[in-house]
Amino acid sequence: MRQLEKLLTQFLSDGLSQADTIIALRRCFHQNPEIANQEFKTTALLKKELSRLGLKIHDKGMPTGLWADLETGRDGPTVAVRTDIDALPVTEKTGLPFASKINGKMHACGHDVHMAVLIGTARLLAHHKKDLIGHVRFICQPAEERPPGGAQPLIAAGVLKNPKVDAILALHVDPSIPTGHIGVRDGVGMASAYDFDLIVNGRSSHAAFPHKSVDAITVAAEVISGLQQVVSRMINPVQPAVVTLGIIKGGTARNVIAETVEVEGTARSLDPQLSKKLPRLIEKTAVGIGKAFGAKVTVLPIADYPALVSDAKVNAFIADAYTSLYPKGKIHLFPVVMGGEDFAYYVQKVPGAMFRLGVANKKIGADKPWHHPAFKIDEAAIATGYTTMAAAVTRILFSAKGHK
């Protein structure tokens, strides 16, 4: 164990010495955001950075995303580290000197930081490969922000196999936790997310003759109102759930009664049984309201993310790694949120955990929520992220029987 602790101490000194390089890489990602399934330059840069470390690259012919393997040549577990790589269709308003160069696209959720942390972790572990055992897999996943997400295609392509992944780790920046701190939570930390589209088909006519039409807009309005009754009147109030309709599109002119309206929505819950129930309640309610007004309502499922459930044992490795490096730091119990996260698909297959990396610093304006156009992070947190991640991976590798 003394050898392990000595290695982790080396991670800390090595990690701090490369901080400027990793921060520069983060800024490069930030200036050149690419949205879901269009992360071509991002993928190329990740491949370049991981290849120069001697890692074996796998892309399975995928247009974006990849994974890379660090092979120590010694028997042991396989631990995976995952980052998401896509940006959001948000116009940046941070005023940073390295703000997005692409109008209408921004890393407003911290995926640029996540990628930098993964590269920092890979650099530390590759540099100390002779001191490690087993395998480490670095997963660069596209399309986290766009349903149905990028996790399932990677899993189908074999990202958790050959060798079989024994544990998987990820982090997410958190603007509510101070820089230098981290957050963990055992069990459910984020909600399941059922994303769906509603198509309301009515019958068009002139605005002056509503009796000859089935107004898709007024029917859609009734459907939208009615779906709020799903949570308030059809679900036990002690079970958290939310139904949100975020986009509505329909109509062609002010004096033409609309024939078709499209509505995009999402439903969130924390209970697995309720997660199965919500789609049925949504469809029954929406279709029934449509029939009452003579319209046809079709519900199209887009994605159905499970709740994010972090493994307590994996979280313990993360907490131990952090406290060994930062004994004066603080570990927060972060609150459960109704946001969704497709990292949940991986932890359905293998034990894993996602911890929060504190990036908050009000003095520099790093206090805005995820997806805000002025979202910033305190870059001092990045080194905390990759040193903690590298130490957690190493603790898991050496936890294997016979390698105490």
Report percent pLDDT > 90 for the chain. 96
Cα(304)–Cα(151) distance, rounded to whole angstroms? 12
Q: Give the pLDDT score at 400.
A: 75
Q: Give the pLDDT score at 404.
A: 45
Cα(311)–Cα(349) distance, rounded to whole angstroms? 12
- Note the pLDDT tens digit of each residue in 352-401: 999 999 999 999 999 999 999 999 999 999 999 999 999 999 999 999 75
Distances (CA, A) of 254 to 77, 138, 358: 64, 53, 49
Report percent pLDDT > 70 for the chain. 99
**HSE, side-chain direction, 13 A CA sphere, residue 221:** 5
Strand 182-184 with 241-250, pairing = unpaired
Domains and CATH numbers, the chain: 2-191+307-397 (3.40.630.10), 192-305 (3.30.70.360)
The two structure tokens encoding residue 122: 């890979």
Secondary structure class of 263 (helix, strand, coil) = strand
The two structure tokens encoding residue 93: 């308003």
Q: Is the pLDDT confidence value at 403 over 70?
A: no
- Note the pLDDT tens digit of each residue in 73-101: 999 999 999 999 999 999 999 999 999 99
Residues 6+ apart with CB under 8 A from 225: none
**Helical segments of 77-176, H only:** 111-127, 151-156
When pLDDT is averaged across residues 16-23 and rounded to a whole number, the result is 96
* DSSP states along 135-153: EEEEEEE--SSSTT-SHHH
Reported as a pLDDT band with limits 50, 70 and 90, residue 1 is low
The two structure tokens encoding residue 187: 């069990």
Query: What letter represents residue 51's amino acid?
Result: S
Q: Give the pLDDT score at 401.
A: 57
- Note the pLDDT tens digit of each residue in 270-292: 999 999 999 999 999 999 999 99
**Residues 373, 96: contact at Cβ < 8 Å?**
no
- Tell me the pTM: 0.93
**HSE, side-chain direction, 13 A CA sphere, residue 210:** 7
Q: Is the pLDDT confidence value at 351 over 60?
A: yes
Residues 6+ apart with CB under 8 A from 127: 14
Q: Give the pLDDT score at 228.
A: 95
- Note the pLDDT tens digit of each residue in 94-145: 999 999 999 999 999 999 999 999 999 999 999 999 999 999 999 999 999 9
Reported as a pLDDT band with limits 50, 70 and 90, residue 60 is confident
- Note the pLDDT tens digit of each residue in 136-184: 999 999 999 999 999 999 999 999 999 999 999 999 999 999 999 999 9
**Number of C-beta neighbours around residue 7 at 10 A:** 17
Q: What is the mean pLDDT of the chain?
A: 96
Q: Is the pLDDT confidence value at 189 over 80?
A: yes
Q: Is the pLDDT confidence value at 198 over 90?
A: yes
**Residues 149, 36: contact at Cβ < 8 Å?**
no
Phi and psi, residue 385, nearest 5°: -65, -50
Cα 298 off chain centre by: 29
Q: Give the pLDDT score at 6.
A: 84
